[in-house]
Structure 1
Amino acid sequence: MTWFSDPEAVARYAEGPVRLVPGFESLQRMATLLLAEHLPGAANVLVLGAGGGLELKKFADRQPLWRFVGVDPSAEMLKLAQATLGPLADRALLHEGYIDSAPPGPFDAATCLLTLHFIPAEERLRTLREIHRRLAPGAPLIVAHHSFPQAPADKARWLKRYAAYAVDSGVPAADAERAISAIAAQLPVLSPEADEALLKEAGFHGTELFYAGFTFKGWIAWKDR
């Protein structure tokens, strides 16, 4: 998306998730705690969609023995991630690109937060398979993104709830309406059932829903040992 290449828009990025994603800070905390269940000590974590650096900083602050490889297609967003990490940046290697730009691993865990809803289903499946291929046996994957029913009436209802939350967070009503129109027209959002089916088809098992915030859902799933 061209938005992620606009330096002025990127500079304001951190304001967006806090206002638009219900429980955003708690989502990051829960992701950290779920990873820590499996990674009690030193670990290498793959972070897909790492631009902005918000989850990288949360993970690095809470877990000083973890190191990271972050991947994002936007050079501007990766610059922001570097700045967000500050003195923690030496624990993260950042790569511009998509999943194919990530090293082969094996990684002890992976995350993909607020990213997969930008990727069409066929490419999303390939991305999940490539993440799976880079994980060590038994490693967890955490994903969270827009995921809500896609029948027209259901879709309209959930998008109106997203807009209502945005307005309640201080977003002008006209901007919120434009946002849901753009989501409906441009984002290849899937239903929760379809998202879970893709995780299974990509080779993950034991999928558990751990987060739900209006139009957003989050899961943890596992690679076989």
Structure 2
Amino acid sequence: MSGAAHPGDGASYAGRVARHVPGLKDLHRMAGLLLAERVPETGRVLVLGAGGGLELRGFAAAHPGWRFDGVDPSPQMTAQALDILGPEGGRVTFHQGYIDDAPEGPFDGATCLLTLHFLPREERLRTLRQLHRRLRPGAPFAMAHHSFPQADGQQDLWLRRNAAWLVSGGVPEAQAMAGMATMKERLPVLTPEEDAALLAAAGFREVQLFYAALTFKGWIARA
């Protein structure tokens, strides 16, 4: 199945995401460490939005006893994940689709990185509730995505800052600004306060911010 991806696709995806997300590898490392506070050495972890395989690669390398269920709607991205994972791919069971296509669990931990900002508020809440239902009591959940202030000109300010980050990393200014315009138009971004409130509404407790990088925020919580 890994041959379904064109040569270099995984590498180009990894480079593109790394340019857009400050401290991407550190985000993955932090998420793995926070999960490991409660996930046993032979635990089972649900990774929602697993296409591309970058966080799976980091988790698998640092925690050799973990097994994973990766969920993603794109077979092309799943193929890239298998290419990136190499031999570690044998520890991952992939499921094509969304949260409703994930196994029932119960899982010892879960992550959803750089995914939930695509979902409108109500669908985001429903997804979080379905994630919560699949976790053992007290199991950790880490999520991270675009989340920044929206009122009183703050949305445009943070989008300009995001564009400046991209330009400083070598992205042409016109391309960076076009990307910010697309984000403003298409992504149903919430504020950090709203995102934290959704976690609580979905049943999660001990919600704590652990990652903040310009427009991106990340939280750890317990089921």
Task: State whether TM-score is above 0.5.
Answer: yes
Distance 1:222 1:40 in 2: 15
Question: What is the percent sequence identity of the aligned residues?
Answer: 57
Distance 1:166 1:80 in 2: 24
Q: Partner residue of 1:3?
A: none
Distance 1:205 1:127 in 2: 16
Q: Partner residue of 1:35?
A: 35
Q: Partner residue of 1:25?
A: 25
Is the alpha carbon distance of 1:40 and 1:106 closer, same or farther for their aligned partners in structure 2, counting shifts above 3 Å?
closer
Q: TM-score, normalised to structure 1's length? A: 0.94
Is the alpha carbon distance of 1:201 and 1:7 closer, same or farther for their aligned partners in structure 2, counting shifts above 3 Å?
farther
Distance 2:105 2:54 in 1: 23
Unaligned runs of 5+ in 2: none
Is the alpha carbon distance of 1:40 and 1:183 closer, same or farther for their aligned partners in structure 2, counting shifts above 3 Å?
same
Q: How far does the alpha carbon of each residue in 1:147-169 deviate from its partner, in whole angstroms, 9 at most, with x for none?
A: 00111500000000000000111
By how many angstroms is 1:18 displaced? Answer: 1.0
Q: How far does the alpha carbon of each residue in 1:52-111 deviate from its partner, in whole angstroms, 9 at most, with x for none?
A: 000001000000000000000111100101111100011000011000010000000000
Q: Partner residue of 2:123?
A: 123
Q: Partner residue of 1:60?
A: 60
Q: How far does the alpha carbon of each residue in 1:35-54 deviate from its partner, in whole angstroms, 9 at most, with x for none?
A: 11112411000000000000
Q: Partner residue of 2:170?
A: 170
Q: Are the aligned partners of 2:40 and 2:108 in contact in 1 as well (CA < 8 Å)?
A: no
Is the alpha carbon distance of 1:152 and 1:72 closer, same or farther for their aligned partners in structure 2, counting shifts above 3 Å?
farther
How big is the alpha-carbon RMSD for the aligned residues of Structure 1 and Structure 2? 1.5
- One-letter amino acid matched to 1:125: L
Q: How far does the alpha carbon of each residue in 1:179-216 deviate from its partner, in whole angstroms, 9 at most, with x for none?
A: 00000000011000100110010000100000000000
Distance 1:83 1:8 in 2: 9
Aligned length: 218
Unaligned runs of 5+ in 1: 1-5
Q: Match of 2:80, SS?
A: helix
Q: How does 1:1-225 map to 2 (within 5 A)?
A: 11=10, 12-223=12-223
- One-letter amino acid matched to 2:179: A
Q: Are the aligned partners of 2:159 and 2:215 in contact in 1 as well (CA < 8 Å)?
A: yes
